[in-house]
Structure 1
Amino acid sequence: MTELEKDCLFCKIIRGEIPSYTVFENDDVKAFLDISQVTKGHTLIIPKKHLVNFFDYSQEDAARFLQYIPVVAQAIKESDPTIKGLNVEVNNGEIAGQVVMHSHIHLIPRRSENDPISTPHVNNADQYSEADYQAVANAIKNNL
């Protein structure tokens, strides 16, 4: 693919201008170790087309690029018998913690409950009535 940005960090990795520890690559995607290694084996999957985040994806883009998530996830799991699970994370937009503005998916192996990872989730169910839930669901449905 030639739809890459000149100054994008991940586009530079795709072009080979910046080295990476590649674990999988084909015409559509590149998967490589995240330099931070939140846990051993932490891997990023990026499309070889510059898309900022999921808001930029067409259905064709999703079909073309996201199909490799289970392929790489399974390879990560099989690479180490101590891996018991995997966090699949996407930070979509700056407000959601996206740092590199090129779509990427984090595959973070989990070995124990004591891994140095935090996945905070807040339960706000007591703040929603059935009408509130239905209004939110309808607003989303109306945009599909």
Structure 2
Amino acid sequence: MDDCIFCKIVKGEIPSKKIYEDDEILAFHDVSPQAPVHFLLIPKKHIRNIMELDTSDTALLGRLLFKAQELAVDLGCGEKGARFVINCKENGGQTVDHLHVHVLGGRPLDWPPG
């Protein structure tokens, strides 16, 4: 998608503070962190949201979530935990139409959020 901010980050057109990258996944720090640890993981493949996954995307989603927990541990959240969030569409609070996982940690997080 030419107008997708996350696709532009994948292409290197917009800078990001990368944490991890491979052929299918990119992880980077959130530009407006809500916790001491706050990063995003995105598939490089443009998928608008979790409701638009295809059967062929199941392995990719599994890798994305596995990498999310692995990076959370690497960034110091292994002992006390973290929050893993996938917002979906307008009512779910999704602000960028590209599937992404927020990982937040490093402090206690209230529920419900906000």
Does TM, scored on the shorter chain, surpass 0.5? yes
1:81/1:51 CA distance change after superposition, 3 Å: closer
Amino acid at match of 2:61: F
- Partner deviation per Cα, 1:6-64 (whole Å, 9 max, x = no partner): 01000000000000011111111101111111112211111111111011111221212
RCO (CA 8 Å, sep 6+): is it higher in 1 or 2? 2
Q: Could you say what the CA RMSD is over the residues aligned between the two structures, in angstroms? A: 2.0
Shift of 1:102: 0.6
Asked whether the equivalents of residues 53 and 101 of structure 1 are also in contact (C-alpha less than 8 Å), the reply is: yes
Alignment pair present for 1:61 and 2:57: yes
TM-score (norm 2): 0.87
- Percent identical among aligned pairs is 35
Structure 1 pair 25–6 and aligned structure 2 pair: CA distance change class (3 A): same
Q: Compare the two structures and name the one with the higher helix fraction.
A: 1
Instruction: Give, in whole Å, the separation in 1 of the partners of 2:97 and 2:67.
Output: 24
Of the three residues 101, 119, 122, the one matched with 2:111 is 119
Of stretches 55-64 and 28-37 in structure 1, the one that deviates more from structure 2 is 55-64
Give the 3 Å change call, closer, same or farther, for CA 82–62 of structure 1 in structure 2: closer
- Gap regions ≥5 residues in structure 2: none
Q: Quick one: distance in 1 between partners of 2:21 and 2:13?
A: 16
Runs of 4+ in 1 over 6 A off after TM superposition: none
Question: With structure 1 as the length reference, what TM-score do the two structures score?
Answer: 0.70
Counterpart code for 1:105: V
Answer yes or no: is 1:85 the counterpart of 2:81: yes
State whether structure 2 residue 42 is matched by structure 1 residue 46: yes
Pair member with larger Rg: 1
| Separation in structure 2 between the aligned mates of residue 82 and residue 73 of structure 1, nearest angstrom | 8
CA contact (8 A) 1:85 1:111 kept: no
State the 1:79 CA deviation: 2.6
Is 1:17 matched up with 2:13?
Answer: yes
Change over 3 Å in CA distance of 1:21–1:53 after alignment to 2: same
Q: Tell whether 2:68 aligns with 1:76.
A: no
> What stretches of structure 1 of length at least 5 have no aligned partner?
122-144
Say whether the 8 Å CA contact 2:49–2:98 is kept in structure 1: yes
